Amino acid sequence: MKKERPNILWLLCEDVCPWFGCYGDPTIPTPHIDALAAGGALFQKCFSPAPVCSPARSGIITGCMPTTIGAHQHQSGRSPGFPLHLPEGVRTLPEIFREAGYFTYNNGKDDYNFTYDRRSLYAGDYDDHGIYGFAGNGHWRDRQPGQPFFGQITLWGGKNKGSPPKPVGADDVRVPPYYPDIPEFRNHYQRHYNQLMVTDDEVGAIMDNLVKDGLLDNTFVFFFSDHGYCLLRHKQFLYDGGIHVPLIINGPGIPAGAVREDVVSGIDVAATSLSLAGLGIPSWMESQDLFRPDFHREYVVSVRDRCDFTIERIRSVRTNRFKYIRNFLTDRPLMQPQYRDRTPDYKAWMALRDEGALTPVQEQFVSLSRPAEELYDVLADPDETVNLAGRPEFDEELRRHRGMLEEWICDTGDLGQFPEQPEQLLPMIHHWGARAADPVFVAARRQLGIPEPADSPSHGEVAVGQK
């Protein structure tokens, strides 16, 4: 009898840090996610290709770094007059699975930074959400009898609105030393833990449905996130809070209780999915099969470029022990104007800075200057608060990690080296209005003949991050 082809199911979370019991965090109960890990493989050191949705998801769905395929600028390719196409030969994972006879669906958003026809990727109906992607409603039950499926289910994770039966209290969470220990940040941590308990219930319901439909024994389940939680030093930045994500793979033949300590990239989900389905891995993919006997990554690179109306370029190299960060735009503070600068936690942090009430560690991230290079011993300093760049005893590691990044930029042709065309910025100009006040947007408006909003900040205000 011919063996039935396996199903591949992605439980792709939004904005989730690995704050679960199976990752060593006992703050909340997450029995369903812990059970998924106990029955499969847990990857301790998985890092997103980018700390914001659309570049990260573009890399994950193609198995390529977003800077290789031109998808690195957040929500780029949304201008009708300036479509961005994938490089010749590069295709998305659902297209590859479809060609192999799989039923493909997405129950949730896509948010990819390139031009594509959703109906060539997925079955089902879609609600268009403009520049923010779409909400799909597909299900494995819509496939033909006996047809294998490749499914994506969005778990809202850090954007969950529900509440668990026994919420964790603000006094029960730890606020790391790089944030001031004030109610605004305690509430954020409290909220994320409670959101994760809701996510855990959702995972349990999905697994129950797989059992009910007799699919569990022939389905590989991937549980992971696009990037970290939406806190100010997490999302959109390359500290571990922004790029360290959970990754659990459970399915037939995967040893139960396996724990991997090697560094892996979020883009590796693509090649691993193809391999577990018995499909070939295209030569253009930068993704690697995590279960290949000779799998090895010496380091993982993550990238931060423009997000919304904030022009930026940051790169990180994560090895087993160290994190190296290169800040290319040293003329701007890290907390230059960005989409969260009207939130209570941002305002509270800035007020404490202006009052001189922050510790030196808390002041680092909201300082009006930034270092060109950062190096952290993440084993000794998991909060990444002690910058070792410039310390003579770490000069060799600094040079080694700097060399890795330079080699990677050269080898991959990192497209973040080149500015966006003015036409690419049109959706941001229209969406953000006067808040798109960076000199890059000023120049784009002039080139496109768009009037400058009357209440735009001056260049000097942008440079020092004032409002």
Pair 32, 200: CB distance under 8 Å: yes
State the DSSP string of 221-290. EEEEESS--SSTTTTTS-SHHHHEE-EEEE-TTSPTTEEEEEEEETTHHHHHHHHHTTPPPPTT-----T
Q: Predicted confidence band at 455 (pLDDT cuts at 50, 70, 90)?
A: low
The model's pTM is: 0.95
Give the tens place of pLDDT for each residue, 178-219: 999 999 999 999 999 999 999 999 999 999 999 999 999 999
Q: How far is CA 110 from CA 8, 33, 55, 61, 75, in A?
A: 17, 23, 11, 9, 11
- Per-residue confidence (pLDDT) for residue 131, from 0 to 100: 53
Window from 120-124, 260-264, 365-369 with minimum mean pLDDT: 120-124
Using CB atoms within 10 A of its CB, is residue 81 exposed (0-12), middle (13-18) or buried (19+)?
A: exposed
Maximum pairwise Cα distance, the chain = 74
Window from 41-50, 125-134, 343-352, 388-397 with minimum mean pLDDT: 125-134
Q: Which of 221, 69, 68, 240 minimizes the C-alpha distance to 140?
A: 221
pLDDT > 70? residue 240? yes
319-337 mean pLDDT: 96
Give percent of the chain above pLDDT 90. 86
Kind of pairing between the strands at 7-13 and 149-155: parallel
281-301 mean pLDDT: 98
Higher pLDDT, residue 109 or 284: 284
- Per-residue confidence (pLDDT) for residue 467, from 0 to 100: 28
442-450 mean pLDDT: 95
Cα dihedral value 269, 271, 274, 278, nearest 10: -130
Q: Predicted confidence band at 457 (pLDDT cuts at 50, 70, 90)?
A: very low
Mean pLDDT, rounded, of the chain: 93
Give the tens place of pLDDT for each residue, 17-69: 999 999 999 999 999 999 999 999 999 999 999 999 999 999 999 999 999 99
H helix intervals, 77-168: 93-99, 118-121
Using CB atoms within 10 A of its CB, is residue 11 exposed (0-12), middle (13-18) or buried (19+)?
A: buried
287-294 mean pLDDT: 97
Residue 311 CA to residue 193 CA, distance in Å, equals 31
- Per-residue confidence (pLDDT) for residue 160, from 0 to 100: 87
241-255 mean pLDDT: 97
- Per-residue confidence (pLDDT) for residue 257, from 0 to 100: 97
Residue 34 CA to residue 342 CA, distance in Å, equals 36
- CATH topology for 7-293 is Alkaline Phosphatase, subunit A (3.40.720)
Q: Where are the domains of the chain?
A: 7-293, 314-417, 422-464
- Per-residue confidence (pLDDT) for residue 124, from 0 to 100: 78
